Structure 1
Amino acid sequence: MSIINITKNNFDSEVLKSDGVVILDFWATWCGPCRTLGPILESFSNKNSNVKVGKVNVDEESELAGKFEIMSIPTLIIFKNGEPINKSVGLVSESKIAELIK
C-alpha cells in the first residue's frame, strides 16, 4: 500500500473513519531522522498491506501537529479504528514499528 499524504482536509476520512490500523508519521523536509525514517516506513508499508501509513508534514499542517501535541519529530502515532493507541518519538526500526501496532 502506498503512503498517503495526510492533511486537515482528508484526516477524518483517512484516519478517524478508517477501519483497522493507521500509522501517522509527523515529519518535516528539513529533519534528518525524518528522511531516514521515510524508506523504513515505505518498506514496512509494502510488507503490511493491511496497515495504512500516512505522513503529516508539520510545517504544512501545523493545526494537526498542534492537535496531537507534536513537540519532536519524527513522531509516529498509531491509530486503531480511529482512536490513537500508541506513540513513538524519534527514529525507529521496522521491527519496532511492527511492535507498536500490536
Structure 2
Amino acid sequence: MATIEVTESNFNEIADDGIVLLDFWAEWCGPCKSFGPIFEKASAKHEDIKFGKIDTEAQPALAQGFDITAIPTIMAIRDGIVVFAQPGALPAPALDDLITQVRALDMDAIRAEISAEINKN
C-alpha cells in the first residue's frame, strides 16, 4: 500500500481501525529524509498496514495534539489506540521488529488495562 499523506481532515478515517504507522517529519529534517525511503519500503512490504506521513510544518495541530517535540517521530496506532511513539529514525530491521510487536499485541488486554486505569481515577 502506498504511503498516505495524513492531514487534520483525513486523520480520523485513517487511524480508526487496524494498524497504522505514522511518520511525523519535516522537509528540512535530515534524519527524516534518510528515514523516508525505509518507511516507504516497509509500506510496500506490509500492504495490510496503513502507513501515513504527517508533515509537522503543514499540520502543526496534529503535531501539537500528539505532543511531538522531535522529528522524525514514529507512532503506531492499533484499533484507534496509540501503542508506540518514539522520536528518532529507525533502521529497517528495527521498523520490521516494531511491526511484528504491534501485530502481536493483545488488544483486549490493552483495552482492559485502559478501562481499569480510567475507572481508578
TM-score w.r.t. the length of structure 2 is 0.80
Q: How many residues in Structure 1 have an aligned counterpart in Structure 2?
A: 100
Q: CA deviation at 1:99?
A: 2.0
- Choose from 51, 58, 61 the match for 1:60: 58
In the alignment, structure 2 segments of 5+ residues that lack a partner are: 102-121
Structure holding more helix per residue = 2
Equivalent in the alignment of 1:86: 84
TM-score w.r.t. the length of structure 1 is 0.94
In the alignment, structure 1 segments of 5+ residues that lack a partner are: none
Kindly indicate whether structure 1 or structure 2 has the higher relative contact order, using CA contacts under 8 Å at least 6 residues apart: 1
Identity %: 38
Structure holding more strand per residue = 1
Equivalent positions of 1:1-102 (< 5 A) are 1-15=1-15, 17=16, 19-101=17-99, 102=101
Structure possessing the higher radius of gyration over alpha carbons? 2
How far apart, in 1, do the equivalents of 2:62 and 2:2 lie? 21
Please, what is the CA RMSD of the aligned residues? Answer: 0.8
